Amino acid sequence: MLVLTGAGRAFCAGLDLDLAATLPGMNPSDLLTGQESWARAIAGFRHMDKPVIAAVNGAAAGAGMALALAADIRIASPDARFNAAFIRIGLTGGDVGTSWLLPRIVGFGRAMEILMTGRFVDAEEALRIGMVTEIAKEGSLLDRAIETAGLICRNSPFGVRMTKQVLQMNVDAPSLDAAIALENRNQVLAFQTDDMREAFDAFREKRDPRFSGR
């Protein structure tokens, strides 16, 4: 389980503008290397077999928004806000995975408008359009993220891992039948784990399960 939040007033404000001013003079190969490095970091959260929760405090701009979108669950502070900052400095709104992640979260048309305008989406709008799952009360953001992580950790590690995997794969499944086929295989695998038997025994004995991760 990984919980991400910003160390200061912002979750991640994105690229430093002073640095951005120097980029047009760089070698394209070096620029591409930098882009690929950022992209690997974003993709890493998607590929991680453990859940990632983004506790978004303040601004999540540019690559910072992509970082938040790559998380499995997003919880916002009341002052959280998101924007595709690169479109505002002569670049494209689609950066380090944003053009793939955002439409899957808020829908194609809404994603198009957010990426093409570069406007800020505040916490209330983010909640309304499904970009975040909740807005924490003032001062309680990290506590709420950790509480949510605790609820997830009450379930078996294998079950949580397979749930993340099946959701990520089935969002692009070619058909309902293909999605169900993958679910069926995951359930058969889960039936064979020690943790499934432990969960069943704990339910019958009215106690908390003691998972081993096996």
The b-or-e profile of 79-109 (16+ CB within 10 A means b, else e) is bbbbbbbbbeeebebbbbbbbbbbbebbeee
CATH entry, 2-152, from 3.30.70.580, 3.90.1150.10, 3.30.565.10, 3.90.226.10: 3.90.226.10
pLDDT per residue, tens digit, the chain (214 aa), is 899 999 888 998 866 555 555 666 677 787 788 778 878 888 898 889 999 999 999 999 988 999 999 999 999 999 999 999 888 888 888 888 999 999 999 999 999 999 999 999 999 999 999 999 999 999 999 999 999 999 999 999 999 999 999 999 999 999 999 999 999 999 999 999 999 999 989 999 999 999 988 8
Q: What angle do CA 162, 189, 156 make, to 5 degrees?
A: 50
List Cα–Cα distances, 41 to 27, 67, 154, 185, in angstroms. 22, 8, 28, 30
Copy the structure tokens of residue 131: 């970009």
Q: What angle do CA 170, 95, 50 make, to 5 degrees?
A: 45
**Residue 140: strand, helix, or coil:** coil
User: What pLDDT is recorded for position 17?
Assistant: 57
**Residue 135: strand, helix, or coil:** strand
What are the extents of the domains in the chain?
2-152, 156-204
The pTM of this model reads: 0.88
Second CATH level (architecture) for the domain 156-204: Orthogonal Bundle (1.10)
User: What pLDDT is recorded for position 36?
Assistant: 82
